[in-house]
């Protein structure tokens, strides 16, 4: 009898742990590069302003967000994407795609000439943007949570 109670308690505890660790099914965005070149991505919540926006990520210097041709990158978010998008007034997150070599070149040049964060070069040189994705929950649901370039 005591063994049955212990097994029930253990089973309930295991069930509680599994339920407590459950994650939202769509927390992360996948970025697939089918372009034949290495790309780098950044994002901004400042939609629709594509001139005076602030980049949320700029990791050109260390190459973390460089995505080789034929590779699918999983952009890991700490919170469910639904929550992130709902906190943005426009409910839209802009993802920008750049050629990695050009991005790195302008990043380094801007930093050297201006003595400032090289990420500002992306706002100055808008011609570097190969593609912009305007990401909403509806867009993600209709595209299987994957941004495909090109």
Task: Judge residue 84's burial from the number of C-beta atoms within 10 Å of its C-beta, 0-12 exposed, 13-18 middle, 19 or more buried.
Answer: middle
57: nearest Cα among 93, 85, 3, 88: 93
Tell me if residue 40 falls in helix, strand or coil: strand
| Cα–Cα distance measured from residue 150 to residue 116, given in angstroms and rounded to the nearest whole number | 31
pLDDT of residue 68: 92
Q: Are 88 and 47 in contact (CB under 8 A)?
A: yes
118-128 pLDDT, tens per residue?
A: 677 777 778 88
73-82 pLDDT, tens per residue?
A: 888 888 889 9
**DSSP string covering 54-94, please?**
--S---TTTTTTEE-TT-EEEE--SS-HHHHHHHSTTS-EE
Confidence tier at 17 by pLDDT (50, 70, 90): low
Does residue 15 have a pLDDT over 70? no
């Amino acid at each position: 009898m005591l063994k049955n109670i212990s097994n029930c308690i253990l089973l309930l505890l295991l069930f509680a742990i599994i339920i407590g660790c459950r994650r939202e099914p769509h927390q992360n965005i996948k970025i697939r590069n089918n372009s034949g070149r290495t790309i780098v991505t950044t994002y901004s919540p400042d939609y629709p302003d594509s001139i005076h926006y602030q980049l949320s990520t700029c990791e050109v210097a260390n190459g973390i967000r460089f995505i080789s041709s034929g590779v699918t990158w999983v952009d890991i978010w700490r919170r469910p994407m639904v929550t992130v998008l709902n906190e943005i007034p426009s409910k839209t997150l802009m993802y920008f795609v750049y050629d990695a070599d050009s991005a790195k070149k302008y990043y380094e040049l801007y930093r050297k000439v201006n003595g400032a964060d090289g990420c500002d070069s992306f706002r100055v040189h808008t011609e570097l943007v190969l593609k912009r994705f305007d990401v909403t929950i509806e867009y993600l649901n209709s595209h299987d949570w994957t941004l495909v370039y090109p």
